[in-house]
């Protein structure tokens, strides 16, 4: 699985998008990161709100990664990652609906709403989820929700914590897409404990983990932790 | 801590209330279970919706446990457990406000709403929680939210699963009450991994674990599992 380069689009230039783009490019895949306005993204000279360096600096150190518009990236990717903010995801990806038709969309985004201060609340939950909103907006795409319940660095390198003895969840409506993503989690990322929660409505459950995740971050003093399901 | 009998009220006659009442009575504590109408509770001859035997049968096998009205139990208990349904808890406990003043209220209830079919949704979440509703309704009581993230049998006997190597969360506004409940979790129940998430607003996080918990129950085929926080 590692030997066949895949054309991958990473939608979003934040910490999560960068972590996956770097990881997948290092594995030899053809990665294009999508952004709203590439020139503006490259022109930014400040760190972002999370203290990450300007994108141009990050990109310079990863010459194999390409940068394009959202539309160019959606066109490029045979496999597409949603690493956008939860508030932007539906709008940005809906605009790429045709280019995304038939493709697997790995949805990492969480519907965090920071507009009312800290800690963030969820802009959708309980009776719906961002994963479901995306699947409804992109009925020809195969949305698989995963990666959204731990820190970006752990997402791409689970073995750095307890030798990988902790869990990642997948859910989605398309069995083949879930199978492919599960294989990718295992072969490309080293995930061992992969729990299939069923159809995309299970995204309600994994997105609703965020509030306790945020409290645990505060209680433990580090974001480098994850849940294990003990049975 | 095990040697001094405590007067304990368990509000609620369901599976969770029974598990704790049996456990605490076996430890030698003076347990009174509270219900709306004791005569009606004792007259029931059918199993409940979860397949539990009639309460009278359960009680007969535990002669040390007493049954009373909610008001009698609230009066009796020096320590009070909320093992009510999430839909009943605020109303029932508010009616006992004076008797509960100054007492520690161990809140196990989850605001599950089964009225719209399965799986249940939450009747409050995201910007509020049942734990917070209770603390607002009972400002003179000390609400500590705990036990609400795993099956009742595991709540009272964590060591039966992986030797107890999994987590329980506590949160609440009163440091002394949390310290007391943490001591109880350890000494009476055998909990080892107790995570203090902070004030009662963290109940949003632990109650919002229910949707993923319910999906995991389906995926794993057993409710005898729990989360461990790996760090």
| pLDDT, tens only, A183-200 | 999 999 999 999 999 999
CATH superfamily of B7-220: NAD(P)-binding Rossmann-like Domain (3.40.50.720)
The dihedral region occupied by B20, where left means phi > 0, alpha psi between -120 and 50, and beta the remainder, is alpha
B182 to chain A, minimum CA–CA distance in Å?
A: 15
Inter-chain residue contact A219 with B209, CB threshold 8 Å: no
| Tokens coding A8 | 């991958």
CA A194 to centroid of chain Cα atoms: 16
pLDDT at B4: 85
CA B181 to centroid of chain Cα atoms: 12
Out of B121, B215, B229, whose CB is closest to A126?
B121
Out of A122, A220, A231, whose CB is closest to B220?
A231
Strands B226-230 and A226-230: antiparallel
Return the closest-CA partner of residue A86 out of A221, A210, A214, A225. A210
Contact residues, chain B, for A208 at CB < 8 Å: 125, 208-209, 211-212
Q: Give the SS3 label for residue B228.
A: strand
Inter-chain residue contact B228 with A231, CB threshold 8 Å: no
Which segments of chain B does DSSP mark as H helices, in order? 15-26, 38-43, 55-60, 70-76, 89-94, 97-100, 130-137, 152-156, 175-184, 203-207, 210-220
The verdict on B163 touching A (C-beta cutoff 8 Å) is: no
pLDDT at A49: 79
Inter-chain residue contact B121 with A121, CB threshold 8 Å: no
pLDDT digits (tens, 9 = 90+) for B87-105: 999 999 999 999 999 999 9
Closest residue in chain B to residue A226, using alpha carbons only: B230
A185 to chain B, minimum CA–CA distance in Å?
A: 19
Mean pLDDT across A80-97: 98
pLDDT digits (tens, 9 = 90+) for A162-187: 999 999 999 999 999 999 999 999 99
pLDDT at A1: 52
The percent of residues in chain A predicted with pLDDT above 90, rounded, is 94
B206 to chain A, minimum CA–CA distance in Å?
A: 6
Instruction: Label residue B2 by pLDDT band (50, 70, 90).
Output: low
Strands A66-69 and A30-35: parallel
């Amino acid at each position: 699985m590692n030997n066949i380069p895949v054309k991958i689009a990473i939608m979003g230039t934040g910490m999560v998008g960068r972590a996956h783009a770097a990881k997948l490019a290092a594995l030899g895949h053809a990665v294009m990161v999508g952004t709203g306005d590439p020139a503006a993204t490259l022109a930014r000279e400040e760190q972002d709100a999370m203290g990450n360096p300007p994108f141009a600096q990050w990109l310079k150190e990863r010459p194999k990664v390409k940068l394009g518009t959202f539309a160019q990236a959606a066109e490029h990717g045979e496999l597409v990652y949603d690493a956008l903010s939860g508030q932007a995801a539906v709008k940005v990806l809906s605009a790429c609906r045709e280019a995304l038709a038939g493709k697997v969309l790995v949805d990492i985004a969480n519907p965090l709403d920071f507009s009312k201060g800290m800690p963030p609340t969820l802009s959708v939950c309980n009776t719906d989820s961002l994963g479901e909103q995306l699947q409804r907006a992109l009925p020809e795409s195969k949305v698989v929700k995963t990666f959204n319940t731990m820190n970006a660095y752990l997402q791409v390198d689970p073995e750095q914590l307890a030798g990988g003895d902790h869990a990642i969840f997948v859910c989605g409506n398309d069995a083949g897409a879930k199978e492919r993503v599960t294989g990718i989690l295992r072969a490309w990322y080293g995930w061992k404990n992969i729990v299939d929660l069923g159809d995309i409505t299970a995204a309600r459950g994994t997105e609703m983990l965020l509030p306790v995740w945020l409290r645990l971050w505060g209680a433990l003093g580090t974001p480098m932790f994850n849940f294990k399901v003990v049975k």
